[in-house]
Structure 1
Amino acid sequence: MEVTKIPVLRLPQRLPHAEAIKSFKDNQHSYEAEFWEFQYQTYRYLERLPDESLLTRYADILKNMRALVSEDRHIIPIQSFLSSWYWFRKEHQTRFEFYLRGLQLPSSVPLDITFNNVPIDSIVRPKHPNSGDVLFRYDKREHLDNIVNQGIIRIRPASDFQASEHNIARQDEERSKKHYLPGGYTRITTENGTSIPITGDVERMVTMPNYYIFCMSCDWDQGLFPAFDGDACLIIKNVEEFSRRLEYAATSRLPGWYFHHNPIQYFDPYERAKNEYFDATMSKNFRFAYQREYRFLWMPQNGEEPNGFKFLNLGDLSNLAEVHNESRNQGVSQLNKVN
């Protein structure tokens, strides 16, 4: 039996395949809470995080776990944010920092809680996490109807989001991304080698020129309706054709701009993995991981700047997409196809 200093949440009974674990130069101990505590004591990356920020981090992790822990994610190695195990480790180490500070969580988490997200009333699901073979957009029905029936897609500058959105799910700085080097493990010196005292953590930032984006989600989730103030969901069933039409429709509006699309990669701003992919366009703070974003972007190549919204006409999309309403009946979510 594991000997840990804090209680352990009920962990999955299934591990990734032994060869998958080995491919990351890991072993079974990487999936044990006792080892997580040992790791954290040797590299206490949250030590200088203010109490309020630690509370926010913990709440964000629990929110992600309610959406991302599921049977199909138990088999993904722990290093990936796509893995259930990734989130159990983050939860335990963050709660361990509370313990080391002698702090209590504002509300207790039942230790027998079972995180196992099972989508309710899902119309269609992706083949596997982040596969991007089917996409979802949560919004007002009238906007989604325009997309399907008229093929009108509105793309917007990345800079708009932090400045103009009041919706917390959309409120992010899309042109720059920050992460932190724990001050207790970081050394900064002057040119002559004199150490400069570090009182907190060291902030590092990557930035990109402004660009255009259109965002969707990789999965069905009832929780994303209220998160995006939506009453309906657009489902793209043929992502390859949808992407081709997007690219073609933008050629006359944004000639010469680089077009790219991919699922977002989420990162822990206080514990970056070695060689982890990280940039300002396709990486996001893991506080947003529950959204499972899939992003289409257009990047200028010759110093151009986005200038307001752009409307792209893709033509009739009724053969590629459907819109479904969200309705509730006695507390149970139901879906009715919009014809």
Structure 2
Amino acid sequence: MQDYQRPPTLYRYGMRSELELALSSGQFRLEPANGFLTLPFSQVWDKHLFEVLGPADCCLVIHNSEEFGERLHRAVQRTLPNWAGIDGPVEYGARSRLGLAFSKLPAHAREKEWKFAWRSLAPQAILNPVTVRIGSIEQFAELRSPESYPV
């Protein structure tokens, strides 16, 4: 389910070793948060986010968020067939209509987060981190270092 137009480009700040796996094999780790399994990105290329979202020494830049999002949702659906997925912008200082997983305090507004999230359709589901693989995304993504940020 998609309620929002994805931004054309998504940014994931992290450690190079993790992001190299994301680029080459499409490996992503969904983490539990507020009753969902989530995978956050930023909608902005901002040198300060290396520190804010760190530890980070690299940024995965996804230039085709539509292709990426569809592949990610399909992979999670195969891995977790009884889960419902959604993605959308995080709202700062207000409760998002998408739920608590998409709501943050105004102090975090600089992150301009776009989040992918999945919720179990089974009541009382145990939330553990889940790793999914969507295949190489090298044809529409790249890694950038903080040094490549324009001055």
Scaled by the length of structure 2, what TM-score is found? 0.87
Check the 8 A contact 1:132/1:263 in 2, yes or no: no
Query: Quick check: 1:295 aligned with 2:115?
Result: yes
Q: Name the count of aligned residue pairs.
A: 143
Q: 1:324 to 1:145 in 2, by over 3 A?
A: same
For residue 152 of structure 1, what is the aligned residue in structure 2?
27
Query: Quick check: 1:132 aligned with 2:7?
Result: yes
Shift of 1:221: 0.5
For residue 318 of structure 1, what is the aligned residue in structure 2?
138
Shift of 1:133: 1.5
Q: 1:277 to 1:144 in 2, by over 3 A?
A: closer
Higher relative contact order (CA 8 A, sep 6+): 2
Structure (1 or 2) with the larger CA radius of gyration: 1
For residue 216 of structure 1, what is the aligned residue in structure 2?
41
Q: How much identity, in percent, do the aligned residues show? A: 27
Check the 8 A contact 1:211/1:305 in 2, yes or no: no
Provide Cα deviations, 1:296-331, integer angstroms capped at 9, x if missing partner: 00011121524422110100110121111123xxxx
Query: Quick check: 1:250 aligned with 2:70?
Result: no
Check the 8 A contact 1:212/1:306 in 2, yes or no: no
Provide Cα deviations, 1:21-76, integer angstroms capped at 9, x if missing partner: xxxxxxxxxxxxxxxxxxxxxxxxxxxxxxxxxxxxxxxxxxxxxxxxxxxxxxxx
Superposition pairs for residues 161-200 of structure 1, below 5 Å? 175=34
Following TM superposition, the consecutive aligned residue runs of length 4 or more in structure 1 with deviations greater than 3 angstroms are 276-279
Query: Quick check: 1:308 aligned with 2:128?
Result: yes
Provide Cα deviations, 1:198-257, integer angstroms capped at 9, x if missing partner: xxxxxxxxxxxx210000001110100111221111001110110111111111221121
The one-letter code of the counterpart of 1:267 is: G
Distance in 2 between the 1:213 and 1:131 partners? 16
For residue 241 of structure 1, what is the aligned residue in structure 2?
67
The CA RMSD measured in Å over matched residues stands at 1.8
For residue 283 of structure 1, what is the aligned residue in structure 2?
103
Structure with bigger strand share is 2
Shift of 1:138: 0.8
Check the 8 A contact 1:140/1:231 in 2, yes or no: yes
Distance in 2 between the 1:243 and 1:306 partners? 25
Query: Quick check: 1:141 aligned with 2:36?
Result: no
Secondary structure of the 1:221 match is: coil
Distance in 2 between the 1:281 and 1:290 partners? 17
Check the 8 A contact 1:264/1:294 in 2, yes or no: yes
Distance in 2 between the 1:287 and 1:131 partners? 23
Check the 8 A contact 1:265/1:284 in 2, yes or no: yes
The one-letter code of the counterpart of 1:226 is: E
Provide Cα deviations, 1:249-298, integer angstroms capped at 9, x if missing partner: 11122112110001111116xxxxxxx74531222111111111100000
Q: 1:140 to 1:251 in 2, by over 3 A?
A: same
